[in-house]
Amino acid sequence: MSDTALRVACVGAGYFSQFHYGAWARLPEVTCVGSADRQIAAAQATGVPAFDDLHQMLAATRPDILDIILPPVAHRDAVLLALDAGVKTIICQKPFCQDLQEATSLTVLAEHSGARLIIHENFRFMPWYRAIKSEISSGRIGTPLQASFRLRPGDGQGPDAYLDRQPYFQQMPKFLIHETGAHWIDTFRFLFGNPGAVYADLRQINPDIQGEDAGFVLFDHPNGVRALFDGNRHCDHLADNQRRTMGEALFEGTEGVLTLLGDGSVTLRPHGSMESEMVLPPDTWEGFGGDCVYHLQNHVVQGVLGRGAFENEARDYLEVIRIKDAIYQSAETGQKIELW
């Protein structure tokens, strides 16, 4: 271990944590010094020093960065313990906390403690969305008019839905938007800015889960841009890996259309043309989402080292929660909800 390496500790060793630990292991500027989980065997399986108590791990390892890889119900206690231990950079999984009040309270506490609290919202770090952002910003599609994403992971059918990966999905009273659609709330705002209004029509198809698993959400973004999130976890899309992009998308403007396919490729078709050019070739990463976990964690490391500004800080991410709450309000009332 380098004497100058950033010390990273992680809490949580469930299904998705494999992508976190794998990414940390590939970052040369860091050393993973601890894994904490109530199931000590799970922590031991990560291959780094294992603990079954977060407080003990923080005292023993004194990390520069704590990566919280836990569900929302556990976020508050983990963040408070980290702040009490003097950790100055905390990464917390999404959905962040159980509600806006709890998330706001933790954000204020972190700010008062002089700590960076960053939300692990990794979809904006997928290479296709970075490429799409670059193409839109450079004017390749002219004036952006609208966007649509069709969520089609095909994993939501029957009584065994989600049990092989994240069984707690079945028990979430708010599911499609709170857990999954939040990714595109953030992605659309990354591309087009915060929406001024939302309208939603949500429904539950699978009777074996508690929350909604299909629906439409319309976002009114600045400059007249409209975005549509069309989510259905029962249906699939054309892809060898349904979890790579989790669906397909169009980004349309006055001068052209960007298309995202399930293989992670992005093409640009100029307005009026029959031909498309390849903007980003198909993805070859065998892990999750174009290695977006690595890209997010590297982004945080570079920020800690003073090599760039931070995205996804908790204060900014509170907007995602406000928008999410407005989506549920719209679905309950059948009305478009103005946000500002």
Bridge-based pairing state of the strands 30-36 and 50-51:
parallel
Helix (H, G, I), strand (E, B) or coil at 30: strand
What is the predicted pLDDT for the residue at 1?
A: 45
What is the predicted pLDDT for the residue at 165?
A: 87
Region class of 72: left (phi > 0), else alpha (psi between -120 and 50), else beta: alpha
Q: Grade residue 3 by pLDDT with cuts at 50, 70 and 90.
A: low
Question: Which residues are bridge partners to 257 per DSSP?
Answer: 252, 269
User: Which is it for the CA torsion 43, 48, 54, 56, positive or negative?
Assistant: positive
Rounded to whole angstroms, the Cα distance separating 236 from 243 reads 10
Burial zone of 275 (CB within 10 Å; 0-12 exposed, 13-18 middle, 19+ buried): exposed
Q: Both tokens of residue 103?
A: 């998330």
Rg of the chain over CA atoms, in angstroms? 20
What is the predicted pLDDT for the residue at 273?
A: 98
What is the predicted pLDDT for the residue at 4?
A: 74
Q: Is the pLDDT of residue 283 over 50?
A: yes
What is the predicted pLDDT for the residue at 307?
A: 96
Helix (H, G, I), strand (E, B) or coil at 89: strand
What is the predicted pLDDT for the residue at 76?
A: 98
Rounded to whole angstroms, the Cα distance separating 276 from 19 reads 34
Q: Both tokens of residue 263?
A: 């293989």
Q: Is the pLDDT of residue 129 over 70?
A: yes
Q: pLDDT tens-digit profile of 134-186?
A: 999 999 999 999 999 999 999 999 999 999 988 989 999 999 999 999 999 99
Go through the domains of the chain in sequence order and give each one's CATH number: 6-120 (3.40.50.720), 124-289+320-338 (3.30.360.10)
For 305, residues 6+ apart whose C-beta sits below 8 A from its C-beta are 6, 29
Answer yes or no: are the C-beta atoms of 32 and 20 closer than 8 Å: no
pTM of the shown model = 0.94
* H or E segment to which residue 185 belongs: helix 182-192
Average pLDDT in the chain: 97
pLDDT average, residue stretch 63-92: 97
Answer yes or no: are the C-beta atoms of 147 and 132 closer than 8 Å: no
Q: pLDDT tens-digit profile of 6-57?
A: 999 999 999 999 999 999 999 999 999 999 999 999 999 999 999 999 999 9
Q: pLDDT tens-digit profile of 226-247?
A: 999 999 999 999 999 999 999 9
Q: pLDDT tens-digit profile of 254-272?
A: 999 999 999 999 999 999 9
Answer yes or no: are the C-beta atoms of 106 and 79 closer than 8 Å: yes
Q: Is the pLDDT of residue 2 over 60?
A: no
pLDDT average, residue stretch 268-286: 97
For 82, residues 6+ apart whose C-beta sits below 8 A from its C-beta are 58, 66, 68, 90, 115
